[in-house]
Amino acid sequence: MSANKRALGPLYVVRNSRIHGRGVFAARYIRKGTRILEYKGERIDNDEADRRYDDTKMKRHHTFLFTLDAKTVIDGAPEVGGGDASFINHSCDPNCEAVITDRKIFIHALRGIEPGTELAYDYQYERTGKNDAALEKFYVCRCGSANCRGTIMKPAKKKKRRRR
């Protein structure tokens, strides 16, 4: 860390969130494009991820999983070495985005973020086309943004209209 960043203090703090559980908040102004932190944790395969977090046994959805690629998932749970990024909540109007670089996941600011503002990115859970209506309710969104779509799943693809 550079002396300048140390002098300014940390970029973020973790505390209770109005969205869900704990959240990550800007401790000082964060400029657009800033790499804020890395999503850390244990690298596991999809089968292990399904074993650890069986949605059918959950009353409500809650995991610390982040898909790195088709074969690798990062479990960011605190008990397996996850870091602060695992506390970043979903928003349908995000101020951050996840960027995969060199097989690592970093959280970057999409725009300038004022101190005290909760950091959030769009989780965009994949749709399978099967049971999506039920899954939308299970993967409910609590972001509270004006354009909230009600779920942390990717937006549904709009059907193309045929011309007559």
Q: What is the model's pLDDT at position 76?
A: 92
The set of residues, in sequence order, having a beta carbon less than 8 Å from that of 42 and lying 6+ positions away, is 74, 75, 77, 80, 81, 82
pLDDT tens per residue across span 102-146:
999 999 999 999 999 999 999 988 887 788 888 888 888 989 999
Which of 123, 85, 99, 93 has the alpha carbon at shortest distance from 111?
93
Check pLDDT > 80 for residue 35.
Answer: yes
As assigned by CATH, the class of the 11-138 domain is: mainly beta
> Whole-angstrom Cα distance, residue 108 to residue 137?
28
Q: What is the model's pLDDT at position 155?
A: 86
CB 29 within 8 A of CB 114: yes
Q: Where are the beta strands (DSSP E) in the chain?
A: 12-16, 22-26, 35-39, 42-44, 65-67, 73-75, 89-90, 96-101, 104-109, 120-121
Check pLDDT > 70 for residue 161.
Answer: no
Which of 11, 41, 28 has the alpha carbon at shortest distance from 105?
41
